[in-house]
């Protein structure tokens, strides 16, 4: 069975059909740049480009980088235009996709669901936290495999700032930090999250997970096990498709 997944990020919008039995992409993903400003209409046009690229005509699962309540209403928009707040994303995106059935889910929650089902969290009990390091820091919290949605732990305070302003992948790039310097910031952030939630496992996702060997060995002093996401930056696409399938 295949369902289409789209992952809306602060810098790119990417998607592909997903093989739900394998938990992997059924075709090479297609990506467009997130428009600046990332308004609802602009982002919806980007989503349509991605879906139209494949000529897809079935259900579509779509992630959003912020809090999603009631199945579709956007409550926060840290890394996209603020005009998204209070938007019914299901209605907007469904109309832009010509009436295709649309499911909307928090981006990190989608990635977490995929990793817990097919990746680094498969079969793990206890408290597991997936963190996606990209334009911001997304989070997905699981207790014995059950998701606690919309945690948004990237907005915890760290050194007087939103944590994601200090420890996201974008912060590393914008400030031209070495891997060692950035790893110290990530370690401090993980230690803070560990103090609050005492997880057994941290899963590190987002695009930077492809380079886990450059920074994970540098993170010392955190008690929890720390592993890279196995689905890497495709986890959001897979999780979005899984959520859409669950709603059908």
CA–CA distance, 129 with 192 (Å, rounded to integer): 13
Average pLDDT over residues 51-75: 96
In tens, the pLDDT along 11-42 reads 999 999 999 999 999 999 999 999 999 999 99
What pLDDT shows up at residue 120?
A: 97
What pLDDT shows up at residue 73?
A: 97
Is the pLDDT confidence value at 97 over 90? yes
What pLDDT shows up at residue 63?
A: 98
* pTM assigned to the model: 0.96
Average pLDDT over residues 220-248: 96
CA–CA distance, 56 with 76 (Å, rounded to integer): 29
Contact 160, 146 (CB under 8 A): no
Domain(s) labelled CATH 3.30.420.40 in the chain stretch across 2-106+235-247, 120-229
In tens, the pLDDT along 114-138 reads 999 999 999 999 999 999 999 999 9
Contact 204, 216 (CB under 8 A): yes
Average pLDDT over residues 190-217: 96
Per-residue exposure over 64-90, b if at least 16 CB sit within 10 Å of its own CB, e if not: bbbbbeeebbbbbbbbbbeebeebebb
pLDDT grade for 248, boundaries at 50, 70 and 90:
confident
Q: What is the phi/psi pair of residue 183, to 5°?
A: -60, -35
Give, in words, the CATH class of 2-106+235-247: alpha beta
Percent of the chain with pLDDT over 90: 97
Is the pLDDT confidence value at 193 over 90? yes
CA–CA distance, 17 with 6 (Å, rounded to integer): 9
Q: C-alpha distances in angstroms, 69 versus 25, 87, 171, 233?
A: 27, 11, 28, 24
The per-type count for the chain, helices as H runs and strands as E runs, is: 8, 15
CATH superfamily of 120-229: ATPase, nucleotide binding domain (3.30.420.40)
Percent of the chain with pLDDT over 70: 100
């Amino acid at each position: 069975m295949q369902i289409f997944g789209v992952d809306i990020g602060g810098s790119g919008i990417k998607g592909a059909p997903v093989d739900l039995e394998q938990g992997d992409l059924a075709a090479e993903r297609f990506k467009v740049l997130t428009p600046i400003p990332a308004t609802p209409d602009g982002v919806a046009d980007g989503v349509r480009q991605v879906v139209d690229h494949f000529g897809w005509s079935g259900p579509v699962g779509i992630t959003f980088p912020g809090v999603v309540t009631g199945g579709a209403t956007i409550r926060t928009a840290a890394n996209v235009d603020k005009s998204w707040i209070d938007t019914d994303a299901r209605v907007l995106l469904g109309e832009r996709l010509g009436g295709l059935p649309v499911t909307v889910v928090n981006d990190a929650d989608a990635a977490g669901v995929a990793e817990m089902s097919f990746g680094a969290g498969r079969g793990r009990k206890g408290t597991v936290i997936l963190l996606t390091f990209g334009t911001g820091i997304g989070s997905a919290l699981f207790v014995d495999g059950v998701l606690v949605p919309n945690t948004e732990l990237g907005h915890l305070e760290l050194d007087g700032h939103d944590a994601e302003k200090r420890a996201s992948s974008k912060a590393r790039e914008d400030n031209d930090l070495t891997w060692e310097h950035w790893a110290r910031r990530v370690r401090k952030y993980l230690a803070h999250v560990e103090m609050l939630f005492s997880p057994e496992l941290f899963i590190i996702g987002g695009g930077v997970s492809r380079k886990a060997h450059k920074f994970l060995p540098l993170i010392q002093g955190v008690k929890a096990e720390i592993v890279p996401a196995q689905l890497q930056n495709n986890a959001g696409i897979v999780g979005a498709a899984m959520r859409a399938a669950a709603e059908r």
